[in-house]
Amino acid sequence: MGSPPPLPLIFVLLIFPFSAPSRASVVARLPGFRGPLPFYLETGYVEVDEVNEAELFYYFIESERNPIEDPLLLWLTGGPRCSAFCGLVFEVGPLKFVSARYNGSLPSLVYRPYS
């Protein structure tokens, strides 16, 4: 039995299929947030199974500190509709909902600088 491949090789093999988004959009503004977003946000779909035409939805948020040296975090959740966005806002993302009594209007979002 040989030794396992080095971790960087495993990482490249896992990430390689995700390197070419089939559809991507840069998002500069979101409903409920005043002004342009203070961070780089890209969303899209990546094909993961060409035969069955399976795609995964993603949010890419670039590091606000040092994108070249900071590690890449892959965080998986449901989606691509509300569950993915709510998970992003409630759990790990740079935006959060403003806690307020529901009045029928669109919820407000605020920046969370230390996400």
**Reported pTM:** 0.71
Is the per-residue pLDDT at 30 higher than 90?
A: yes
Vertex 82, ends 105 and 19: CA angle to 5°? 135
What is the pLDDT of the chain when averaged over all its residues?
79
Contact of 61 with 37, CB cutoff 8 Å:
no
- How many angstroms separate the CA atoms of 113 and 38, rounded? 9
Is the per-residue pLDDT at 36 higher than 90?
A: yes
Contact of 74 with 58, CB cutoff 8 Å:
no
Taking the CB of residue 25, how many other CB atoms lie within 10 A of it?
11
Q: What is the pLDDT of residue 8?
A: 44
Residue for token pair 């993915």? 84
- How many angstroms separate the CA atoms of 75 and 88, rounded? 9
Q: How confident is the model at residue 69 (pLDDT cuts 50, 70, 90)?
A: very high
Any idea where the domains of the chain sit in the sequence? 19-111
Q: How confident is the model at residue 37 (pLDDT cuts 50, 70, 90)?
A: very high
Q: What is the pLDDT of residue 26?
A: 94
Q: What is the pLDDT of residue 12?
A: 40
Q: How far is CA 43 from CA 2, 8, 21, in A?
A: 40, 26, 9
